[in-house]
Amino acid sequence: MATATKTQQAPILNTNEPDKEETKTIYSIEDFNLWYGNDQALYEVQMDIPENRVTAIIGPSGCGKSTFIKSLNRMVELVPSVKMSGKIQYKEKDIFDPKYKVEDLRTDVGMVFQNPNPFPKSIYENVVYGPKTHGIKKKSILNEIVEKSLRGAALWDEVKDRLNENAFGLSGGQQQRLCIARCLAIEPDVILMDEPTSALDPISTSKIEELVQTLKKDYSIAIVTHNMQQAARISDKTAFFLNGEVIEYNNTDNLFSNPDDRRTEDYITGRFG
Ligand SMILES: Nc1ncnc2c1ncn2[C@@H]1O[C@H](COP(=O)(O)OP(=O)(O)OP(=O)(O)O)[C@@H](O)[C@H]1O
């Protein structure tokens, strides 16, 4: 007699070492609400983001992940109808304080987007774009920045002999690492990543995942991802968003192995989303 077998979900494994050290908080978010016109997209968000760690933001489509991450460097305000209330502190500075210039915030906090978006310029010019905007002109310094940033983004060896070629000649995965290099060139402390691998093949994805693990030694990283295995593989903390609320925020291994909230459990076991 045939025995019925239950379809089993692959277990989500977190291979990160448990966080034993005390970490500093780089972002502190309190009672943060955001509206697009009259539609509220974020509700009473309360979260501390740790320094030199990877924090994943997960949740179903439309739950406010991108809105949240774009609030952290005030990019969300490019939408004219946006209104906000509550507090976001970056290194104990109020990011909405008029004395803290948005340009300075965005120098401290770089961003990498879903689709690789290099400028239609050479690889070299892509990397030096930010530093040049900040007034750095000396060729020897720019050369150093290019090498350091491309090495930091694990791209140097692949492109060092064709720095003057157009960035559009690179593969999608290389273009995304170039965008990371462009971000590193402005020497941020934080890197925000909005689904950085969703347009990439599995090999390019795993390169970016490895890179994220390396980068956290020097940077604090917040990453939006639809891919729960990815969140489990690369993050130290995970926040689960649903309908604009943070339902659960915990160490990644706890959140995936022993969620506190039924809705988190339903989401990570694939019952919805
Ligand atoms: N520019 C905008 N104008 C008006 N409403 C917006 C705008 N951007 C997002 N929204 C709304 O805010 C809510 C949250 O959207 P957001 O893009 O932050 O979600 P998300 O979790 O990142 O979704 P996805 O996973 O599909 O990218 C949604 O209801 C969305 O329709």
- Angle between helix axes 123-133 and 139-152 (nearest 10 degrees) is 110
pLDDT band at 5 (very low <50, low <70, confident <90, very high): very low
How wide is the angle at C-alpha 231 spanned by C-alphas 240 and 256, nearest 5°?
A: 60
What is the mean predicted confidence (pLDDT) over 21-47?
95
The full set of domain ranges for the chain reads: 25-117+191-268
Burial class (CB in 10 A: 0-12, 13-18, 19+), 53: buried
CATH of the domain spanning 25-117+191-268, picked from 2.130.10.10, 3.40.50.300, 3.40.50.80, 1.20.1070.10: 3.40.50.300
pLDDT the model gives residue 270 = 87
Query: pTM of the predicted model, to two decimals?
Result: 0.90
Query: For atom 5 of ligand 1, which residue has the closest CA?
Result: 36
pLDDT band at 21 (very low <50, low <70, confident <90, very high): low
Q: Which of the listed residues 34, 38, 66, 243 should we mutate to test ligand 1's pocket, taking the one with most ligand atoms within 8 A of CB? A: 66
Query: For atom 4 of ligand 1, which residue has the closest CA?
Result: 36
Q: How far is the CA of 63 from the centre of ligand 1 (A)?
A: 7
In whole angstroms, how far apart are CA 17 and each of 11, 14, 155, 234, 253? 18, 8, 27, 11, 9
Two structure tokens written together for 195: 């689904």
Q: Which of 7-11, 118-122, 132-136, 233-237 has the least mean pLDDT?
A: 7-11
Query: For atom 3 of ligand 1, which residue has the closest CA?
Result: 36
In whole angstroms, how far apart are CA 101 and each of 20, 69, 191? 36, 18, 18
Q: What is the ipTM of this complex?
A: 0.98
* 45-54 per-position pLDDT tens digit: 999 999 999 9
Expressed in angstroms, the distance from the first to the final Cα of the chain is: 36
**Alpha carbon distance 161, 173 (integer Å):** 18
* 104-122 per-position pLDDT tens digit: 999 999 999 999 999 999 9
pLDDT the model gives residue 200 = 87
Burial class (CB in 10 A: 0-12, 13-18, 19+), 98: exposed
Ramachandran class of 187: left when φ > 0, alpha when ψ lies in -120 to 50, beta otherwise: left
Residue pointed to by tokens 């060092």: 160
